[in-house]
Amino acid sequence: MLIKTRDFGEIEVSEESIFHFTQPIFGFEEYTKYAILQDVEIGGHIAWLQSLQNPELCFILIDPSGLSDIFNPVLPQGAVRMLGEGDCFCWVIAVITENLSESTVNLKSPIFMNAETRLAAQIMLDEDYPVR
């Protein structure tokens, strides 16, 4: 599928990279279809979440597995019903600033994705993780 993006121009994305959000990203509820964009040169720990409905809307995602000493999210049972059965994986949204030391990640509301159902949701966790 060919999509338009603000940051990457017109690019081809595979169907496997497209997810439908059953629980949209907070503040962006009208956008529910996104593609995960990854660059093999950068590695698998950073990705972009590009809206298919708005070429201007793109989030930076970080794989939180490197934060396992402080961040071990558990998918709530209600979210399992939203995403369907199967293996889910997690990303966190990052806000990268000019001064990198002021950059933040949202650990309180990670994005869970089910690779089998192609469903995703931003879930606010009960645990006391910081939003910034």
pLDDT at 49: 98
Task: Grade residue 52 by pLDDT with cuts at 50, 70 and 90.
Answer: very high
CA–CA distance, 127 with 109 (Å, rounded to integer): 10
Q: What percent of the chain has pLDDT over 90?
A: 67
Give yes or no for residue 1 having a pLDDT over 60.
Answer: yes
CA–CA distance, 4 with 27 (Å, rounded to integer): 22
Q: Reduce the secondary structure of 13-51 to three states and give it as a string.
A: CCHHHEEEEEECCCCCCCCCEEEEECCCCCCCCEEEEEE
- Six token digits for residue 57: 């809307």
Tokens 């338009």 belong to 4
Give the list of residues 6+ apart from residue 100 with CB closer than 8 angstroms, or none: none
pLDDT at 39: 84
Across the chain, what does the average pLDDT equal? 91
CATH code of domain 2-122: 2.30.290.10
